[in-house]
Structure 1
């Protein structure tokens, strides 16, 4: 059994009004726009395998990527969504988007109350979806998801006896193939 992990294609999204600095409210609006944005086309190497089933995050950027990579029915699920980020404060001051996103991830790592999903919850969600995919299938699967979540998907696949490439930050549109180890 092979599982291909792919991060959605690059998102074609620019901040509203080309804001360089944002308040927490503006950041939330920007993140909402990002969730609904279209993707840029991405060329893939054709020799990455033929997939029999495809699972995708139910967010538009992942679905659009899956539709370009897979001709059959796509199984959409919230379980493959990216970890949501929220500003760690609602105090009305402006920071660069990159800094807000960094602070949101730090808040998540510290289990700050501003973040809706804890690390334990994320790990449980990833274990659940990987278990479900493996139990329902004995064929080659393509999973279209998001960059941060793919780190946790990779770790879970390794725990479940797969082997595959290491990556710190998944490249948009790159398929990372994991194979289940077979014992003879």
Structure 2
């Protein structure tokens, strides 16, 4: 059984200057605009693996990437969405966007109430993805998702006896193949 993990193609909507200061509301607006942004389509080397199924995050950037990589029916699911992050405070302070991103991830790691999805909920979602979607059958499956989620999917696949490449930050549009 082979599982291919793919991070969506690069998003057209760019990160503002690292030094640009934003309020919590401006940060939320930027996150929303990023979520609905289109992708920069890239050339992809054809895979030597004949994927039998393809699951994709239901966000447009992932679905469009999946359509470039897989010719058959793509099964869209919210389960493969990126972890949503939120500013840990609504106080009207201005911080650089990278600091907001860092604080949002830290708040999630610390199970802060500002984050909609707790670590426990996230872990349950990973378990669902692996047990109910991927490992239920013995098909070669392509998963099109997002960078942060892929880090955790990789760890779980390795725990379950799969072998595959190491990555700290998944490249956009690259297929990382795991095999059992």
Q: Give the alignment's TM-score, normalised by structure 2.
A: 0.93
> Does the 8 Å CA contact 2:134/2:141 hold for their aligned counterparts?
no
Indicate the SS of the match to 2:5.
strand
Q: Residues 133-176 of structure 1, C-alpha deviation per residue, up to 9 Å, x if partnerless? A: 23443221100000000011111111222111111111111110
The answer to whether residue 137 in structure 2 is matched with residue 137 in structure 1 is yes
* Alignment match, 1:33: 33
Q: Secondary structure at the match of 2:11?
A: coil
Q: Where do 5+ consecutive residues of structure 2 fail to align?
A: none
Q: Which residue of 2 aligns with 1:167?
A: 167
Aligned residue number for residue 97 of structure 1 = 97
Answer yes or no: is the 8 Å Cα contact 1:4–1:143 preserved in 2. Answer: yes
Matching residue of 2:122: 122
Deviation at 1:48, TM superposition (A): 4.7
| DSSP-derived class of the 1:157 partner | helix
Offset, 1:20: 2.1
After superposing on structure 2, the runs of 4+ consecutive aligned residues of structure 1 that deviate more than 6 Å are none
TM score, norm. by length of structure 1: 0.91
* Matched residues, number: 178
Verify: 1:58 aligned to 2:58, yes or no.
yes
Q: 2:153 matched to which residue of 1? A: 153
- Structure 1 residues 130 and 25: CA distance shift in structure 2, 3 A: same
What residue is the counterpart of 1:71 in the other structure? 71
Which consecutive residues of structure 1, in runs of 5 or more, have no partner in the other structure? none
Does the CA contact (< 8 Å) of 1:48 and 1:175 recur in 2?
no
* Cα RMSD, aligned residues only: 1.6
SS of 2:54's partner is: strand
- Greater helix share, 1 or 2? 1
